[in-house]
Chains A and B, each alone.
Chain A
């Protein structure tokens, strides 16, 4: 604990009523809205008596499809908060010129940009990619679930609890003000002794553990559960990028764990890892956390690139150009991504030799990325392009991401970075690649795989509105920021002294509003499509003329995925089957072995949430009790050996007969 710890209450630790921000109107208003929405949600569930359904079908589910969908729902919910943070920042920055202080005081603004980054990376982008990989990978490799279904469930609930911890910090206490990476000494006990940084550290610790568990899960799945005949070079490219991503997760997240654990120890018990006295060195944290931090951004981007490979092949009605080079490029990005981390702190005194090595290595990442871009272009060349919504996302992505990648190379030159470090140029670059690749890919992925998940397509009109709004909004919002970056403007600035910059920030604010139109359009698309779902029904299971195995089964996908495990003969297995006149079996179905649901995941995760909250507020008794209970629950779970069941033969037969009937209807 920090040297001058106030008196600790035996039950409530350092939690007092002061922690609740009754005097901050924005927060009170936010709470009112959140509480209202929560009450509405609970009301709907109670009215339709959905408690049992929710518990049985979703909360305790170990089905990779359901867990994938829940991850994406979590991401969209947190996206709303992340975007709210973004809007607040843009408003503040557009206003705070010519002596005006804006409407956000410093300690608020600092929490907002920290929360924005933390939420967008850990609770929007990561759940989005994990959710899509969870849903798609087992289907694409011809498996019925992932290797460790229970771990999948608990991984999801731990991530959700971590997100709830970040949300709770809004109403009880405060959040970190030290940026999304939380570098000491600012994040140390001496400078920020409150609960803010602790909320941040525990949220990351919990979600980091969940991510590692998910990484092990998907790695083992891809290694061991591919359908017969699916050698690695016959795997869909999205599965290749998933393999790379999960390897990166397992290899890099331990460094995040160590970084934030040691920082937590510094704050909690007064160790001297990153302090400014007794031999500590904050640069040790900076180095170690970026050993994680750089692979992390490749973890976020590689699934996006994999998704676009799927789109390009499907919507150009052509095999992906250069499959082998795509694989090689993906693995290269992985490997190179591990030797570039110093580019996040070129200016911190490592010297010219170190900077030169890491700068050149960073620039080299452009090569495999370029290979991928050319492969997509050559896939499109002489293909029969269909401009469905996912394809439109792909084309927009190619322009936007290319620009972002180029500015990345610009930043990678150490001499340039000495001017650009900590400036708006860096901010513009990473938003460029994050929006252009991750956001566009995941919005496209939701559109693309929605029929497989829910049995009906999303109405294309509002999807296309979203594409245009996001694309135009992106350029309007971020081109002025590039200009500001070239002008040398520092990032995270709350109040400006230079009046000539105000126009840039006003345009950026307008761009943000256009992006919001895109977000609203996306939500409207979902709403309208749900209302219209009968008309949009996907009867064949293959609405796009897909090329991979997930399109060979019904929409929505049955619990067991495949009635018979497929045998694979070529890349693009489903396209191969269609080309060779494959006949779907209509009889001889057998009972199918599936994993059982479990409540352990959510119960243990709730206990972890309570424990983390207790540790943050120094409520040691609560912490001890909840920790013991959590151990009891988890160890108790290992005494349950009855983990699976058989879907009866007649259930399978009925489902498959229904599919036969629908297919016959199509003619």
Chain B
């Protein structure tokens, strides 16, 4: 039976004890994970605050519109590709959730698998961007701007890596135990996490890349 907070039950009169015990196992998982995502949001907020403060400090070095040789540092094409990758991955993740609700473990894993592959592609694109920036001397140690830029990118990538590891573990667990209550809770949390990562990417994409190339 569903068990939202038991405190809503109003019992009048002189009854001081329940006759049927509330069953709490697993029923706080979603809200607990949600609160975890909220503090993760604040983590990124701190990083963005640092970027707001230090993002304009180029130290006479590479800047978004000028990498030192007159060419722009931020190329919008790979950023666009990454945005599409993340967006489609959220879509496939949601389809995976629909299959989970219908208890189709195989189909769910297929969609989540595609999500994970897209995540891998995203990581590859980020790797390529990091290498191309390093080639023009724009590394995390170059200036405050680049330190604050890269720390946002790398923190997001670390979260993506964590999600991919999580997917692998979850796939093994669903294959062995099927989609029981515990695993379904875990899938819900995974989907929340993945969507949260895409939401974070939207913020990065707009406030770091797009705002950076405004003339």
Task: Find B24's partner among A224, A257, A281 (CB 8 Å cutoff).
Answer: A224
- Assess the B21–A228 pair: CB atoms within 8 A: no
- A255-B46, A265-B147 are known contacts. Are A271 and B140 too (CB-CB below 8 A)? yes
Q: Is B94 an interface residue (CB 8 A)?
A: no
Distance, CA A265 to CA B12, complexed state (A): 59
Contact B21 A251 (CB under 8 A): no
Residues of A within 8 A of B144 (CB): 272-273, 275, 278-281
Whether the Cβ atoms of B169 and A254 lie closer than 8 Å is: no
A-B CB contacts (within 8 Å), total count: 171
Residues of B31-87 at the interface with A, using a CB-CB cut-off of 8 Å, are 31-32, 35-36, 38-40, 42-43, 45-47, 49-50, 53-54, 57-59, 61
Query: Is the CB–CB distance between A254 and B28 below 8 Å?
Result: no
Assess the A229–B10 pair: CB atoms within 8 A. yes
Contacts known (A148-B32, A220-B32, A279-B144); A262 close to B151, Cβ less than 8 A: yes
> Is the CB–CB distance between A254 and B173 below 8 Å?
no
Size category, A interface: 35 or more
Are the CB atoms of A220 and B43 closer together than 8 Å? no
B17 CB within 8 Å of chain A: yes
Q: Which residue of B lies closest to A253 (CB)?
A: B39
Partner of B46, one of A143, A254, A577, A592: A254
A288–B28 touching, CB < 8 Å: no
Shortest distance from the beta carbon of B143 to any chain A beta carbon, whole Å = 5
Name the CB-closest residue of A to B25.
A644
A257 and B151 within 8 A (CB): no
CB-defined contacts of A259 to chain B, threshold 8 Å = 46
Closest residue of chain A to B41, judged by CB? A254
Q: Mark A26-68, 1 if CB is under 8 A from B, else 0.
A: 0000000000000000000000000000000000000000000
User: Looking at the complex, which one of A221, A566, A638 makes contact with B28 (CB distance below 8 Å)?
Assistant: A221
Q: A262-B151, A288-B50, A565-B21 are in contact. Are A272 and B143 (CB under 8 A)?
A: yes
Out of B4, B9, B58, name the residue touching A229 (CB < 8 Å). B9
Residues of chain A in range 263-312 having any CB-CB distance to chain B below 8 Å: 265, 269-273, 275, 277-281, 284, 287-288, 291
Among B7, B39, B140, chain A packs the most CB atoms within 10 A around the CB of B7
Q: How far is the CB of A98 from chain B (nearest CB, A)?
A: 46
Instruction: Tell me, yes or no, whether B15 is within 8 Å of chain A by CB.
Output: yes
Given A212-B39, A273-B144, do A227 and B6 touch, yes or no (CB 8 Å)?
yes
**Is the C-beta of B2 less than 8 angstroms from some C-beta in chain A?**
no
Contact A262 B18 (CB under 8 A): no
Pair B46/A639 contact, Cβ less than 8 Å:
no
Contacts of B24 in A (CB 8 A): 143-144, 147, 224-225
Q: Answer whether residue B148 sits at the interface, using C-beta atoms and an 8 A cutoff.
A: yes
In the assembled complex, B215 has its CB within 8 A of some CB on chain A: no
B141 contact from A262, A271, A639, Cβ within 8 A = A271
Task: State whether A593 and B145 are in contact (beta carbons under 8 Å apart), knowing that A228-B9, A255-B46 are contacts in the complex.
Answer: no
Residue from B27, B50, B59, B142 whose CB has the most chain A CB atoms within 10 Å: B50
A217 touches B32 (CB 8 A): yes
Also in contact, A281 and B140, with CB within 8 A (given A229-B7, A259-B46, A566-B17): no
Instruction: Provide the residues of chain B in CB contact with A475, threshold 8 Å.
Output: none
B residues in contact with A564, CB < 8 Å: 17-18, 21
Instruction: Pick the most buried of B8, B12, B15, B42: most chain A CB atoms within 10 A of its CB.
Output: B42
Which residues in window 155-174 of B have CB below 8 A to A? Answer: 165, 169, 173
Contact B39 A250 (CB under 8 A): yes
Q: A273-B144, A593-B25 are contacts. A147–B32 as well, Cβ < 8 Å? A: yes
Q: Which chain B residues border A577 with CB–CB below 8 Å? A: 16
- Which residues of chain B have C-beta atoms less than 8 A from A148's C-beta? 28, 32
A501 interface residue, CB < 8 Å from B? no
Contacts of B35 in A (CB 8 A): 216, 219-220, 250
User: Is the beta-carbon distance between B11 and A567 smaller than 8 angstroms?
Assistant: yes
Are A635 and B169 interface neighbours, CB within 8 A?
Answer: yes
In addition to A224-B28, A255-B46, A567-B9, 19 A-B residue pairs with Cβ atoms within 8 Å of each other are: A144-B24, A216-B39, A217-B32, A223-B5, A227-B7, A231-B7, A254-B43, A258-B50, A265-B147, A269-B140, A278-B57, A278-B61, A279-B58, A291-B46, A565-B17, A566-B17, A567-B17, A638-B173, A639-B173
A-B contact pairs, 6 of them (CB 8 A): A257-B46, A272-B59, A280-B57, A284-B50, A284-B54, A565-B22
In the A-B complex, list the 8 residue pairs whose CB atoms are closest, starting with the nearest. Answer: A279-B57, A279-B144, A258-B46, A254-B42, A147-B28, A564-B17, A271-B147, A228-B9
